[in-house]
Every structure is written in structure tokens, then in C-alpha cells.
Amino acid sequence: MPAKMTPRERMLATIRRQPHDRVPVCGPSVWSGVQPDLMEMNYTYQEVFHDPEKLSRVALRPHTVYGFDLITIPMDMRTEAEGYGSKVVYDLPTSNGFRIGMVRDWVVNTEKDLSKLKPCDPKKVPRMAMTLETVQQVREAYPDVFIAGVVNGMGDMHTDVVNDVETYPGNPNGHFMTLYKNMSTKPKFVHQVMEILVEGAVNWGKALLEAGCDSVNSHDCAGYFGLPPAQYEEFLVQYNAKVREQVGGIYLFNECNPTQYMDMIATKIKPDIWHIPACVDIKEAGEKYGDRMCLMGNLALHSPTDLLCTGTYEMVKQKARECIEAGKRFWGYILSTECELHYGVPRGNIFAMSDAAREYGRLA
């Protein structure tokens, strides 16, 4: 083992649970620290996710500014929806005035529309092709850094292609409530949709790996509202597992609230990297699953009340140290945040993560 490894070498060795120089550190596995960087760069969500140069600049900052070992090519999570034929607009104001992409015209409005839902060719969908171009640019510029692409989880993806407006008007969680209802009343329909989405996700994942990504990262929050485990397994686990099996390459999985589904995620989806949120104890997860997969997490920061938003540099560094000490015992551990980086996180608190990994993360 080299005395000092490149970020890519360090990540690969950690994922394989092989000897490495120190615990890797990175930001969220999906958003790549987009919010605070957009604020500093004076970019909107809409322009950055439609411009490969701006997307590249944002994607690089976790490595070039914060010293993270991983570069995630960020997505606004609606890119794939466009590939299937849903229409995306940027009219939802969030986080200090940003407007994120939201589906406003679904490709499937009734069961009769199922014939319209076709797996897409990523190279022929403008924004997907733009993302592939960004991956190629970043890989060429930074060959020694680990690069991740994002493929939407099957539950989240379902909500972007099947209409929810009529069922739960005005309910911000209506898209998931519609999915839950359809699981009970239209199970055959949900399964049919999922099979098509798996094929599209596999096409997208393979294209990202071909373009230069080291891993495919998948995020699903369809279990966040307490879906019963039996339904989670039937309608979500088996399809995310199919994506993981068929894409090939390194696969990362993140579920917002996995507490009810831990064993089935570990034994059926079998991710190479499991990005766990702060609601899961890293020590307990490591003792139970650390011999079969790499664990990533789990500093809480998606809410303005979480430590990374409200704490001091020293408080964040100490919490990061606790995560490192708990996780590095299992060799396969990556210090990270939860699924997104809130715009209210002070920049010094992000550096506290990198500093903690370099100061406390050595395994020897």
C-alpha cells in the first residue's frame, strides 16, 4: 500500500475493504453539495442542469474546494423523467429562492397510457447526453479522482412518470401516497411500470459507467413515510436489486429512512456502498453489515436544525471524529453527510469534515 494514495485508489480500496491510507471523505452521494455552491456561484438550478460547463464547475467543487475524495455528477432528479416523456418545470421555490425541477405533466396519467412509457436511450435525451458529456470532461481532467453518476431509485422514478395530481391535490407528499395506494389497488400496474423503469435505469447506469463513472449511485425515499416492509420488498427492493445486478460496476444505494428495511437492503439489494442516514447508528450498522459491504455516512445536515447547519467547526469536527472512530474499525467506511447539502451549512463546517478525515482517519 502506498504511503499516500490518490482519491480514486483510496475509494476503491475502501469499497473492497482492502488496506488503505485513511478514511475517505465526501459529500452527499446525490447532490454533491449543490446548494451552497450554487449560491456562491450565483447559478440557478435550471441553468446549471442545462449547461455542461456550469454543471462541471459545480461538480468539481467538492474535490477542488473541500478536498473530498469523490466527485458526484449532480442531478436535479428530474432528468430521467424527461427521458420517459414527462414535462419538467422550475416553479417550486425552495432554499433561499432556488427553484428545483418538478414534474408538472406526467407521461402516464391513466393505465391506458402505459403504452406510452418506453425505456429511453440516454444518448438521445438532451439532458442525459449533456450529463454524459460532463462525466467525460471531469474524467479527462481528473483521472485520479473517484467519479459517481446518479440513477434514480425505482420508487422515486415511479412518482415522476405516473400522475398524482388528481388523487391528492395540494398534498406535497401526494406522489408517494399515490404510489402507496396503487400498490394496494393496482399492483399489476405498479409492477408493469417498474419493469419498464428497470430497463431504462439499466440503460442509464451503463451509459454513465461507459462515460467514465466509477460507480452508479441510487437514491430512493419511497420508504420515508412508513411503507410496510412487505410492500417495500415486493414493489421496491426487487426492482432496485435488478438495477444493481444488471448495471454492473460499483453500486451505491441510499434510502432516506431504512430502519424497517435494513436486512432486506443488505441481503437482497446488496449494494457495494450503503449510504446510511443519521437515523442509523454507524457502529451498529458496521457490526452487522460491515463484513459484506462498504458503509458511508452519516453526519446529519439536510435540515437547517442539524449539526452541520447549527454547530461550530469544532463541534462538527468532533462529531466527524466519532463517526470515523466507529466506522474505520470495519475497514470499509467513508465519512459523508446525508443525502443533500443544505444551503445554510457554513463553509467552515464542510472543511471540518475534510480536516477530521485527514487528522483522525489513518487506519495504520
- Is residue 344 in some structural domain? yes
Count of domains in the chain?
1
For residue 160, being part of any structural domain is answered with yes
**Is residue 60 one of the residues assigned to a domain?**
yes
**Helices and strands (H and E) in the chain: how many:** 16, 9
**Within a domain: 1:** no
| Res 269: pLDDT | 97
Domain containing 179 — which CATH number? Answer: 3.20.20.210
Does 2 map to a domain? no
136 burial type by CB count under 10 A (0-12 exposed, 13-18 middle, 19+ buried)? middle
Burial of 222 (0-12, 13-18, 19+ CB in 10 A): buried
**Which residue segment(s) compose the domain that 286 sits in?**
7-360
Q: Within a domain: residue 238?
A: yes
* pTM, entire model: 0.93
Q: What is the pLDDT along the chain (364 residues), one digit of tens a residue?
A: 667 899 999 999 999 999 999 999 998 777 655 677 777 888 888 888 889 888 888 889 889 999 999 999 877 778 899 999 999 888 766 555 567 788 888 999 889 999 999 998 999 999 999 999 999 999 999 999 999 999 999 999 999 999 865 565 556 566 788 888 899 999 999 999 999 999 999 999 999 999 999 999 998 888 877 889 999 999 999 999 999 999 999 999 999 889 999 999 999 999 999 999 888 888 899 999 999 999 998 887 656 567 888 889 999 999 999 999 999 888 899 999 876 677 778 889 999 999 999 999 998 6
pLDDT at 35: 73
Residue 198 counted as domain residue? yes
From CA 356, how far away is CA 260, in angstroms rounded?
Answer: 31
Position 290 in a domain: yes
